[in-house]
Amino acid sequence: MKQQGKPVACRDVTEGATARRTTNIEYFTVLLILRSCIWIVHFSLLGCLLVTSASGDWPQAAGPHHDYQAQGRAVTSFSVARDQQVQWRTALPNTGESTPVVSNGRIFVTCHAPIQSDAELGREILGICFDAETGKELWRREIPGSRATDMASGFSDNTAASPVTDGNHVCFVNVGGSIRTFDFQGQLIWKHDWVPFGRHHARQQEPILHDGKVIVLKTVAEGLPVSATTKSGAKPLGRDRKYWTRLHAYDLANGKLHWVAESATSVHSASLLHRTTDGAAAILTGRGGGHQPPEEPYGMSLIRADSGKTIWDLPIAGYSAHQNAVWRGDLGVLFVGMQHQLIDMQQGRLRNPVSLQDGVNLRQFEKGRYVSKVQAKLPAQKKKKAITYHTNCLVGDFHYFRTHNGFYLGRVNVTNGRVEYLQVPVQVVHEGGKETKLWDKAITNEVKNVDGFVVYQDRRATLSGWGHVSAASPIVVGDYLYMPTMIGMVYVIRWNAPTLDESALVSISDLGPAGKTWTLSSLAYHDGRLYARTLKELICIGD
């Protein structure tokens, strides 16, 4: 292992707590603003949300504009299993779940440390730098952790936080309790360590890059015993505010702590940064979800990205934070149970509830062909589960997602409330020159790393990746949305198609052979190429 540079100490964090609410306005005001300004806001954000990395980079999991979207053109049909549209592929030392980030000719990912036999748990991870043109590994560094988690867990693991980079520095986060920031030559610039609170490892918050800061989710309390990372060790400590997780903003160049968010964030939440109509950068974040996270009240908050101060708090009964907190300008969208709702982002109020199950438009595959059903009922979803886990993306007039049950791609038109579903195959198998579409059940996954070692504990990691899984988020490049699944399927959709039917589904591409490919990582885009990572390898896809 190469030598690391000298560490720079980080400051202690402190806690603050305030909450502010603003007054109510009528929904039609939001609708009028949306209908007249949505495209102005969308295109102006392309300029005002640029981060400090080189133009066209994918410097964080959510991309250059914090919304998993980029202008440009990428291939819309590819198959790693058949070596189609693959520029290069590089073996990875072990499993990992971070999105590859791209900047200044470099790609950065995290992996679990190498193993010598089958393994279920991992603590230490690696931050690795690759050449973006060739896929050659340039350097790797150890990123320690204070707790062990399942490797290749369907509910995230210590590698789930993606790197962030400004083109000069790269910050790696071990979700098990550490930050390490390096220059592009791999020299250590600063570090920070902590002990996470609570056993649940479905920690979905991606680090956010903004104004020279890296914003990460961690427990406020310092000096916790390692036993606090377990269910038995955390329970006696209770649910006090000092154990809550909050967003923390550190200076990317030196590790100085700039702020700790006033409103808390549950570990399931995937907070996102955007700009309000007055141009202020803000972060929409959430609380709630499975296993009773301690942060309360359950619901959403909008906080200032420059200070962590609360703009508004919005308690929402029954809210599950297992979703991307997508928004722009005056409009936010979310799922509450089996309803889709809009958020008035100025007032912090819910608007326009629409059923996700009743009175919807279905395009179903029956007896070998597609049929349309209007004002129909979506086949039953699990009542106690969110309709989707982190697969949602707001693009144009549409809020896209994939369902918990039944293998449907869904979208809601945010201007008129129209809900559409398209049933899709759960898996496409290429074998012996033959293509087979599976509609009901995927092939059981081996979940083995590149060295052939089994790297999972929970058997749900061997399933389809639909349903009860902390799924990877889709990305948008130009006119196309790329929706990945845990088994390496990528549904490529023309997102602005007038109807969500089979003609909108451009391809069902793949990241490797059926039953041997596993990923919980989003794709990245840079300069006409897509970058993907699976349990086994890093892949460059393009013409």
Residues 313 and 18: their CA atoms lie apart, in Å, by 10
What percentage of the chain reaches a pLDDT higher than 70? 89
| Cis, bond preceding 297 (omega within 30 deg of 0) | yes
* Average of per-residue pLDDT values in the chain: 90
pLDDT value at position 380?
81
Q: Does 343 score more than 90 pLDDT?
A: yes
**Pairing label, strands 529-533, 524-526:** antiparallel
Residues 6+ away with beta carbon under 8 Å from 512: 80, 81, 488, 534, 536, 537
- Nearest CA to 507 out of 494, 519, 520 is that of 494
Domain that includes residue 117, residue range: 27-541
Contact present, 375 and 362 (Cβ < 8 Å): no
Q: Please, which pLDDT band fits residue 7 given cuts at 50, 70 and 90?
A: very low
Position 19 in a domain? no
- Nearest CA to 170 out of 145, 141, 196, 147 is that of 141
pLDDT value at position 440?
95
Contact present, 329 and 342 (Cβ < 8 Å): no
Position 18 in a domain? no
Dihedral sign from CA coordinates of 109, 110, 115, 121: negative
DSSP per position, 229-267: GSHHHHGGGTT-GGG-EEEEEEETTT--EEEE-SS---T
How many residues are recorded in the chain?
A: 543
Q: Please, which pLDDT band fits residue 198 given cuts at 50, 70 and 90?
A: confident
Position 4 in a domain? no
Please report where in the chains the tokens 């990372």 appear, as a residue.
Answer: 229
Residues 6+ away with beta carbon under 8 Å from 529: 74, 87, 540, 541, 542
**Which amino acid is it at 63?**
G
Kindly state the DSSP code that residue 460 receives in the 8-state scheme: G
pLDDT value at position 408?
97
pLDDT value at position 202?
55
In sequence order, the β-bridge partners of residue 334 are 341
Residues 402 and 408: their CA atoms lie apart, in Å, by 6
pLDDT value at position 229?
86
pTM over 0.85: yes
pLDDT value at position 154?
86
With H, G, I as helix, E, B as strand and everything else as coil, classify residue 227. Answer: helix
Residue-wise pLDDT tens digits, 476-493: 999 999 999 999 999 999
Q: Does 2 score more than 50 pLDDT?
A: no
Q: Does 37 score more than 70 pLDDT?
A: no
Residues 419 and 410: their CA atoms lie apart, in Å, by 7
Contact present, 24 and 316 (Cβ < 8 Å): no
How many structural domains does the chain have?
A: 1
Residue-wise pLDDT tens digits, 369-424: 999 999 999 998 776 778 888 999 999 999 999 999 889 999 999 999 999 999 99
Position 84 in a domain? yes
Q: Does 35 score more than 80 pLDDT?
A: no
Angle (nearest 5°) at CA 441 between 440 and 444 = 175
For residues 537-542, average pLDDT: 99
For 231-256, b/e burial (b = at least 16 CB within 10 A) is: eebbeebeeeeebbbbbbbbbbbebe
Position 8 in a domain? no
- Nearest CA to 103 out of 68, 57, 139, 144 is that of 57
Contact present, 246 and 264 (Cβ < 8 Å): yes
CATH code, domain carrying 222: 2.130.10.10
pLDDT value at position 201?
57
Residue-wise pLDDT tens digits, 145-184: 999 988 998 888 999 999 999 999 999 999 999 999 999 9
Q: Does 525 score more than 60 pLDDT?
A: yes
pLDDT value at position 34?
42
Contact present, 1 and 186 (Cβ < 8 Å): no
Position 17 in a domain? no
Q: Which of 45-59, 86-100, 199-213, 417-431 has the lowest mean pLDDT?
A: 45-59
For 498-531, b/e burial (b = at least 16 CB within 10 A) is: eebeeebbbbbbbbbbbbbbbbbbbbbbbeebbb
Q: Which of 171-175, 236-240, 347-351, 353-357 has the lowest mean pLDDT?
A: 236-240
Residues 235 and 257: their CA atoms lie apart, in Å, by 29
Position 113 in a domain? yes
Q: Please, which pLDDT band fits residue 23 given cuts at 50, 70 and 90?
A: very low
Position 7 in a domain? no
**Pairing label, strands 69-70, 475-477:** parallel
The tokens describing 273, both together, are: 């940064």
pLDDT value at position 199?
64
Q: Please, which pLDDT band fits residue 27 given cuts at 50, 70 and 90?
A: very low
